[in-house]
Amino acid sequence: MQHPSALASFALVLSGLICTHAFAADQATIKTGEALYNQNCSVCHQADAIGKPGFAPSLTNPELLSIASDKFFESTIRDGRPGTGMPPFAHLGRKKIKAIVAYLRSHSKLPNRASEVDAEPESHGDPRLGKQWFDDICSTCHGKNGDGYASGGTGTAIGKKGFLGKVSDGFIRETIRHGRSNTRMLGFSDAAGLAHLSDEEIDDIIAYMRTLDKQ
């Protein structure tokens, strides 16, 4: 019978080998994803997915990576965004799409809060009040109907079904509150925000946004 300490040592070695293999596999997936990104995405989203204002959004923004789920990224790549310049890439298949997402995730600098954010309660705001805030604030970048770049704005198309059908109210809420660093989307909450919107006012905006893809 082997000595317990020998068994423990073997278990540690085996665990280390498994972790090393998993890390190597992850690195290989990221490398594959980087190549796929360069072939299919970089022409619009630029090197390292930093984006270009008025043309394509940043995909490696710390706040985006922190609150967006893998499902959000994967479904967006697969389905594209109808009515925008983002075409579908379903032909790549699930494995390659996941590799691209792994590459994007490799740029993460903040904890992944996607599950927490998506679990936030739905908005029960007043869309009539939200329209006023949207027209006064959001439309200056995202367009009157949330059409984004198509309307000459510097912001993305947040009024399209391709976006609204994939994001939770928590995702929208966190984005309005805190913005996206190193982009033109600044936060609108607290004294440091562009506008000190209350939680109720933010929920009013969300309630109005939910009507845009039905107009």
In this structure, the answer to whether residues 13 and 104 fall within a common structural domain is: yes
In this structure, the answer to whether residues 86 and 155 fall within a common structural domain is: no
Percent of the chain beyond pLDDT 90?
Answer: 76
pTM of structure? 0.86
- Residue 11's pLDDT is what? 46
In this structure, the answer to whether residues 107 and 18 fall within a common structural domain is: yes
In this structure, the answer to whether residues 107 and 47 fall within a common structural domain is: yes
Distance between CA atoms of 157 and 148, rounded to whole angstroms?
A: 4
In this structure, the answer to whether residues 91 and 137 fall within a common structural domain is: no
In this structure, the answer to whether residues 11 and 107 fall within a common structural domain is: yes
- Residue 17's pLDDT is what? 40
pLDDT for 25-49, tens place per residue?
Answer: 499 999 999 999 999 999 999 998 9
In this structure, the answer to whether residues 186 and 105 fall within a common structural domain is: no
| Final residue belonging to a domain, choices 84, 112, 140 | 112
- Residue 151's pLDDT is what? 86
| Final residue belonging to a domain, choices 94, 112, 130 | 112
CATH code, 105: 1.10.760.10
183 pLDDT band, cuts 50/70/90, is confident
Distance between CA atoms of 134 and 113, rounded to whole angstroms?
A: 26
Cβ neighbours for 49, distance < 8 A, ≥ 6 positions apart? 37, 41, 42, 58, 59, 60, 104, 107
- Residue 6's pLDDT is what? 56
Residue 118 has pLDDT above 90, yes or no: yes
Percent of the chain beyond pLDDT 70?
Answer: 87
In this structure, the answer to whether residues 80 and 143 fall within a common structural domain is: no
Closest CA to 76 of 42, 100, 112, 108: 100
- Residue 102's pLDDT is what? 97
pLDDT for 11-25, tens place per residue?
Answer: 444 455 444 444 554
pLDDT for 147-175, tens place per residue?
Answer: 999 888 889 999 999 999 999 999 999 99
Distance between CA atoms of 122 and 79, rounded to whole angstroms?
A: 24
Residue 186 has pLDDT above 90, yes or no: no
| Final residue belonging to a domain, choices 112, 141, 170 | 112
Which amino acid appears at position 7 of this protein? Answer: L
| Number of domains present in the structure of the chain | 2
Domain range enclosing 42: 4-112
